[in-house]
Amino acid sequence: MAAAASTAHAINFRLPFAAITNGKPVAALPSASFISFGATRSPLPSTNSVARLTFSKSIIVPRASETTAVEDGSYSDMDGVPTPKVIIDLDSDPDATVVEITFGDRLGALVDTMTALKNLGLNVVKGNVFLDSSGKHNRFAITKADSGRKVEDPELLEAIRLTIINNLLKYHPESSSKLAMGVFFGAQPPNQVDVDIATHITISDESLNRSLLSVETADRPGLLVDLVKVISDTNIAVESGEFDTEGLLARSKFHISYDGKAVPKPRQQNVLFKLCDVNRWPGSC
């Protein structure tokens, strides 16, 4: 049977950066919140067979220490600072969550970052390192230490992301000029953190059985958890995805389905409106 033709809905808004409070939970969610990242879980009562995964913990953003220590890498002044990039990838490996960190050619072995991730109850295996025009790419394969399974809990995924960013701010303080969280914890805040950043949301059909939701917006702590919770609350299953932090921006893509099929157009529109409303993105939805 031929795949369904690709269609897309798009909404564009402008979003101011959201403030946070140092050392306080910024993404605590009610214990009744659920989500799916592909694995079979106990479902909420529903007419749809949508798998769910329980949110388990609050996200705490630690303050990066005021230090010029270097995590086995290089440190220079603020001139010519590359754009940091952190990728959380649930697509490429069926058995592990793949994390990729890039900050030009300034990163070393990242031993302290690996230790900090292990302290979250994770197994961390250093993968391949490669160079291209954007810099040195450091990849890790991450699984849960207690089960050996890939990480699918969105709050733990967000904790991984924030831990990596915190270590970037700690060991490479010049990165604060390029990271949204540098406005609170960094040596030099980003120059344009108070300027509205365009938000783009699209949903398209990848096939008869799956749709693709893409969101680009200003980065903030707890964003990944908020996005997945909105999707889950509409009884849509998140099969896999990728969440990229690139400087001040967060770019995410989620492979989603409804009752094992591509998400119907009315439900797609409902998700778009709810994302706008819950995240307080200005505009008419």
DSSP string, 184-242: HHSSS--TTTTS-EEEEEEEEESSSS-EEEEEEEE--TTHHHHHHHHHHHTT-EEEEEE
Same domain, 248 and 158: no
Q: Which domain holds residue 177?
A: 85-185
Domain ends where: 155, 185, 215? Answer: 185
Neighbours of 144 (CB within 10 A): 18
Cα–Cα distance between 245 and 253 in angstroms, integer?
A: 12
- Retrieve residue 122's tokens: 């994770």
- Reported confidence tier of residue 127, pLDDT bands at 50, 70, 90: confident
What is the total residue count of the chain? Answer: 285
- Reported confidence tier of residue 283, pLDDT bands at 50, 70, 90: low
Domain CATH code at residue 127? 3.30.70
Same domain, 176 and 199: no
What's the structural domain count of the chain?
A: 2
Residue 14's Cβ-count burial label (10 Å; 0-12, 13-18, 19+) is: middle
Task: Report whether pLDDT(181) > 90.
Answer: no
pLDDT, position 177 = 84
Cα–Cα distance between 161 and 221 in angstroms, integer?
A: 9
Domain ends where: 185, 204, 227? Answer: 185
Whether residue 77 lies inside any domain: the answer is: no
Same domain, 181 and 206: no
Same domain, 223 and 272: yes
- Reported confidence tier of residue 186, pLDDT bands at 50, 70, 90: low
CA distances from 65 to 55, 123, 158, 164, 186 (A): 29, 25, 20, 14, 9
- Reported confidence tier of residue 188, pLDDT bands at 50, 70, 90: low
CA 198 to chain centroid, in Å, comes to 18
Domain CATH code at residue 220? 3.30.70.260
Whether residue 239 lies inside any domain: the answer is: yes
CA geometry: angle 228, 219, 223, nearest 5 deg = 20
pLDDT, position 38 = 62
Global pTM reads 0.74
Same domain, 121 and 141: yes
Neighbours of 232 (CB within 10 A): 23
Whether residue 71 lies inside any domain: the answer is: no
Nearest to 47 by CA among 259, 203, 194: 259
Choice between 156 and 194, residue whose per-residue pLDDT is larger:
156
Same domain, 98 and 176: yes
Task: Report whether pLDDT(77) > 60.
Answer: no
Whether residue 2 lies inside any domain: the answer is: no
Task: Report whether pLDDT(70) > 60.
Answer: no
Whether residue 66 lies inside any domain: the answer is: no
Whether residue 1 lies inside any domain: the answer is: no
